[in-house]
Structure 1
Amino acid sequence: MALILVTGASSGLGRNTANALADDGHDVVVHVRNPDRLTDAGDTARWKGVVTGDLAELEEIHGVARQAAEFGRFDVVIHNAGVLHSPEAITVNTVAPYVLTALMDKPARLIYLSSSMHRTGSTDLRRLTDGIASYDDSKLWVTTLALALASRWEGTSSHAVDPGWVPTRMGGAGASDDLVAGHQTQVWLATHHDVTPGTGGYWYHQQTQTPHPAAQDEEFQARLIRVLESRTGVQLRP
C-alpha cells in the first residue's frame, strides 16, 4: 500500500486516477482548488485526505506543500493539475509542479502530466520569465522538468505522461482518445515495479515515445531549472 498525492483531482483525469488508486487499496490524498466541487461523498470517503489551494498563485502553492507535509513523505506524487489558457498555464502547468517538487520530501516516484502538444512548445525561456508562454510551452517545460529529475535524484524515479486528447472538461466533448486509457498509465507507473525504463520515460498508453529533443537535452534542462529557481525563489535540492 502506497501513500499517493494526486493534484487537480476534483474532476476529470485527476479524479479518475485518484479513485482507481484508492480502489486498489492505496492511501490517496487529493489536491483540489475549490473544495466546494467535491460533492460526491462516495469519492471523498475512499480518500485519505484532501489538500486545497489555487496552483495559479505562488503563495497558495506553498500552502499546498505545507498541507501535504502533514501526511508525511509520499511514496508517489502525480502532478496532474493543468489548465489550457495563459497566463495561468505557466504557473499551474510548470511552476506549481516545480515548486511542489522542490518543497516536498522526495518521493519514490514522480509522475508529471504532459501532452503531445509539448512538441510544438518553445525553448525560449524568456517566455517563461515574461509570462507570455502558451500551453504548448508549459507542457514542454514540465516534460523537461520530469526528465531532468530522472537523473538528478537517486532513489526517485521520474516520468512524463501524455494522457491523450480525452473528453474531460478541458479536453472537450469532441476529444477522440479513450477516457479510461487517459489515467491508466499514471496508475500503472505509480504502482508497478517492472516498468522499463525505470525512470526518465515519456509515456503514452503504457508505451514509451520520443519527446521533443530539448526535453532530453541536459543543457536545456539545467537552464530551465535555473530560470524556475530565479522566478520562484525556491531552490531545487541536489
Structure 2
Amino acid sequence: MAKIFITGSTDGLGMLAAKQLIKVGNDVYLHARNESRAIDARVQVPYAKEILIGDLASKSEVKNLAKQMNEIGPFDTVIYNAGISSNNKRSIFKVNVLAPYMLTALTTKPKRIIYISSSMHKGAKLDLDNLENDTDYSSSKLQILMLTKALSRKWQVAVNAVDPGWVPTKMGGPNANDDLIEGYTSQVWLATLDDPKVTGKYFYHMRPDDYDKRVDNVSLQDEFLEKIASISGIKLPN
C-alpha cells in the first residue's frame, strides 16, 4: 500500500487514476482548486483519505498547498496531474510549470514523482528568457519533461513523465480518439512501481516513447532550473 497525492484530481484522468489506486488498496489524497470542487470530489471519490485545496495559479496558494502536503506527508508518490490549456500563456505557465516546480521544491521528497507531459511537447518553442509570457501548452509540456530529466539526474528519486494521449476528458474534448483507460494506466502503474532504475523516462501507454532530445541537454536543463528558480524565488534542494 502506498501513500499517494494527485494534483488536479477532482475530475478527468486525475480522478480516474485516484479511483483505481484506491480500488487496489492505496491511501490516496486528492487536490481541488477550491472548496466547491472539493465538495464534489468527496461525493465522487468517497474513499479518498483527504482533499487538499489550493489554486495552482496563485503562488501564495501553491505555498500553502505545499505546507498542507508536508503536514500530511511524506508521500510515497506524487502525481503532478493538474494542467490547463488556454489562450492565456501566463496562466499556462503558472499552472502547468511553475506550480509543479514549486510544489516539488517545497515538499519533502517522495519515493516517486510522476509528471504529466504530452506528445505535443515535440518541437515546441522554448524561450528561456521569457518563460512567464511565452509558454503555450506545448512548451509547458516540454518544460515539464525537462524538469523530469533534470530531477532524475540530480535526485535519488524515481522521476518519470507520462503522455496520457489525446483522451476524451473535459480538456481533451469529445473528439479525442485515444483510449481513456490507457490515459491513466501508466500513472497507476508507476505510482507503486518499486524499481528505482525506472527514472528519467517518458512513457506512453506503459512503454517508453520517443521524445524531444533537447531535454537531454544537461546545460539546457540547468539553465531552465536557474530561470524557474529566479521566477519562483525558490531553488530546488540538493
Query: What residue is the counterpart of 1:74 in the other structure?
Result: 75
Amino acid at match of 2:212: H
Residues 76 and 170 of structure 1, relative CA distance in 2, 3 Å threshold: same
1:116 to 2:119 alignment: yes
Q: CA–CA distance in 2 between the matches of 1:194 and 1:102?
A: 23
- Higher mean C-alpha deviation, range 9-18 or range 43-52: 43-52
Residues 40 and 7 of structure 1, relative CA distance in 2, 3 Å threshold: closer
Query: For each residue in 1:50-88, what CA deviation from the matched residue of structure 2 results, as whole angstroms up to 9, or x when unmatched?
Result: 101110111111011011112120100000000001221
Amino acid at match of 1:215: V
Shift of 1:171: 0.5
Secondary structure of the 1:82 match is: coil
TM-score (norm 2): 0.95
Are 1:123 and 1:214, in contact at CA under 8 Å, matched by a contact in 2? no
Residues 12 and 230 of structure 1, relative CA distance in 2, 3 Å threshold: same
Are 2:19 and 2:45, in contact at CA under 8 Å, matched by a contact in 1? no
Are 1:113 and 1:160, in contact at CA under 8 Å, matched by a contact in 2? yes
Q: Structure 2 residue aligned with 1:105, among 97, 104, 108?
A: 108
Query: What residue is the counterpart of 1:127 in the other structure?
Result: 130
Query: What residue is the counterpart of 1:13 in the other structure?
Result: 13
Q: CA–CA distance in 1 between the matches of 2:177 and 2:221?
A: 32
Shift of 1:41: 4.5
Are 2:10 and 2:41, in contact at CA under 8 Å, matched by a contact in 1? no
TM-score (norm 1): 0.95
Percent sequence identity is 41
Query: What residue is the counterpart of 1:35 in the other structure?
Result: 35
Query: What residue is the counterpart of 2:149 in the other structure?
Result: 147
Amino acid at match of 1:224: F
State how many pairs are aligned: 235
1:95 to 2:121 alignment: no
RMSD: 1.4
Q: CA–CA distance in 2 between the matches of 1:200 and 1:82?
A: 20
Amino acid at match of 1:32: A
Amino acid at match of 1:120: G
Query: What residue is the counterpart of 1:64 in the other structure?
Result: 65
Shift of 1:42: 4.8
